[in-house]
Amino acid sequence: MTHYILKRFLLMFPTLFGVAVLIFLLLRVVPGDIVEVRFMAQGQYSSEAVMAIERAKLGLDKPLWQQFTTWMWGLLHLDFGVSMWTGAPITEELKLRFELSLQLAIMATVVATLLAIPLGILAAVKQDTWIDYAVRVFSIAGLAMPSFWLGILMILAMLIIFKWLPPMVFTSFWVNPWENLAQLIWPALAVGYRYSAVATRMMRSAMLEVLREDYIRTARAKGLWLKLILSRHALKNAMLPVITVIGLEFAFLMGGLVVTEQVFSLNGLGMLFVEAISHRDYTLTQALVLIVASVFIFVNFATDIAYAWLDPRIRYR
Partner 1 sequence: MAVTKETLESIARAGKPRARWLQATYDFARQRPLGAIGAMMILVMVLVALTANWLAPYDALTTDYGAMLSAPNAQHWLGTDTFGRDVYSRMVFGSRTALIVGLGASFIGATFGALIGVASAYFGGRIDMIVQRIMDVLISFPLIILALAVVAILGTGLQNVIFAIAIPMIPRCARVVRSSALAVREMPYVDAARAAGFTDARIVLRHMLPNVMAPYLIMLTAFLGQAILLEASLSFLGLGVQEPVAAWGLMLRGAAIEFAETAPWMGFFPGLAISLAVFGFNLFGDSLRDALDPRLRTQ
The window from 77-85, 91-99, 129-137, 217-225 that contacts partner 1 (CB under 8 A) reads: 129-137
Question: Smallest gap, in angstroms, from Cβ of residue 279 to partner 1?
Answer: 11
The region that residue 254 occupies, defined by phi over 0 for left and psi between -120 and 50 for alpha, beta otherwise, is alpha
Helices (H), 230-278: 235-255, 258-263, 269-278
Question: Smallest gap, in angstroms, from Cβ of residue 296 to partner 1?
Answer: 5
Give the list of residues 6+ apart from residue 249 with CB closer than 8 angstroms, or none: 109, 112, 195, 198, 199
Is 214 one of the binding residues for partner 1 (CB under 8 A)? no
Distance between CA atoms of 170 and 233, rounded to whole angstroms? Answer: 44
Is 124 one of the binding residues for partner 1 (CB under 8 A)? no
Cβ proximity to partner 1: between 180 and 270 the closer is 270
Out of 102, 106, 125, 155, name the contact with partner 1 by CB under 8 A: 155
Cβ proximity to partner 1: between 136 and 220 the closer is 136
Inter-CA distances, 165 with 103, 260, 267, Å: 20, 16, 17
The answer to whether 189 and 157 have CB atoms below 8 angstroms apart is no
- Give Cα 171 to chain centroid, integer Å: 21
The window from 111-119, 219-227, 235-243, 293-301 that contacts partner 1 (CB under 8 A) reads: 293-301
Q: How many binding residues for partner 1 (CB under 8 A)?
A: 50
| Partners of 82 in the β-ladder | 89
The window from 56-64, 107-115, 148-156, 214-222 that contacts partner 1 (CB under 8 A) reads: 148-156
Distance between CA atoms of 268 and 66, rounded to whole angstroms? Answer: 31
Residue numbers at the binding site for partner 1 (CB under 8 A)? 14-15, 18-19, 22-23, 26-27, 29-31, 127-128, 133, 136-137, 140-141, 143-146, 148-149, 152-153, 155-156, 159-160, 201, 205, 208-209, 252, 255-256, 258-259, 262-263, 273-274, 277-278, 289, 292-293, 296-297
